[in-house]
Amino acid sequence: MQPAKPDAATAAENRDYAQQRALMVERYVAARGVKDPRVLEAMRQTPRHLFVPQVVRAKSYGESALPIGAGQTISQPWIVGRMIELLELNGSEKVLEVGTGTGYQACVLSKVAARVFSIERINELALRAVELVRELKLHNVSVKVFDGTYGWSDQAPFDRIIVAATAPELPEPLVQQLGRGGTLVIPLGRSDDQRLARVRRVGTGIQIEDCGPASFVPLIGRFGWKDEEKAK
């Protein structure tokens, strides 16, 4: 255990992180086209350095994805901003996230949506996410360990669904759990050939819009890839 830092040192460190965060948002998120002021402000407020292991903490306000353990990554700041912007949130929505990781995106979502339900298949990552949700007092975020390709049926329908891992095709349970007028944002394709899709529920059908290239780890599960090799 590290000795507790004096208050003044902690306050100075927090100011420094806040400055780094503001620069990250300006250079790597806003400069790359994300405009929604609520999303940009939520990212300015979210301490990304807490969601990565100590060994990569110095890089936490750069532009890259970073390892978070168990062979998984925290997504690039730009793609987090882009995907959340594509959800077109006004703050009243109930959101399902599939692929919690250590909870960074769930924390950003908690500031721009009413309620966030997030599913992670790897226990150790979900445990860290739960710890951070508690530490940061995010009272509107729930995390569970499960195969997220099944969705979260007893909380459905959702106004928005966001998937942080690439799927071979639209997971049917997620489409079923999307409420009327709802939107699902999900990367589709193999590890080296992915596109971001925005799916809207319109009446009894769906409309799919291509939103450009993406680069995510595979969505592994019953309605995803069967294993990492198959996604290559």
Instruction: Pick the binder of ligand SAM from 21, 82, 115, 121 (CB under 6 A).
Output: 121
Based on the shown chain and the rule CB under 6 A, indicate whether residue 185 belongs to the binding site for ligand SAM: no
| Interacting span for ligand SAM (CB under 6 A) from 8-16, 134-142, 205-213, 220-228 | 220-228
Whether residue 157 has a cis bond before it, omega within 30° of 0: yes
Catalytic residues, by residue number, are 75
Contact string (CB under 6 A) for ligand SAM, positions 14-53, x = contact: ----------------------------------------
Whichever of 30 and 66 has its CB closer to ligand SAM, that residue is: 66
Residue 97 CA to residue 180 CA, distance in Å, equals 18
Single out the segment in contact with ligand SAM by CB under 6 A; choices: 16-24, 30-38, 144-152, 174-182: 144-152
Does 122 bind ligand SAM (CB under 6 A)? Our answer is yes
Residue nearest ligand SAM by beta-carbon distance: 99
Q: What is the DSSP string of the chain?
A: -PPPPPHHHHHHHHHHHHHHHHHHIIIIIITTT---HHHHHHHHHS-GGGGS-GGGGGGTTSSS-EEEETTEEEPPHHHHHHHHHHT---S--EEEEE--TTSHHHHHHHTTSSEEEEEES-HHHHHHHHHHHHHTT-TTEEEEES-GGG--GGG--EEEEEE-SBBSS--HHHHHTEEEEEEEEEEEEETTEEEEEEEEEETTEEEEEEEEEE---B-BSTTSBSSTGGG-
**Binding to ligand SAM, residues 101-120 (CB under 6 A):** 101-102, 104-105, 119-120
Tell me if 160 contacts ligand SAM by CB under 6 A.
no
Residue 76 or 183: which CB sits closer to ligand SAM?
Answer: 76
Residue 189 touching ligand SAM (CB under 6 A): no
Among 40, 50, 133, 164, binds ligand SAM (CB under 6 A): 164
Nearest approach in angstroms of CB 92 to ligand SAM is 22
109, 86 contact by CB (below 8 A): no
**Binding site residues, ligand SAM, CB under 6 A:** 72-75, 98-102, 104-105, 119-122, 125, 147-149, 164-165, 216-217, 219-221, 224
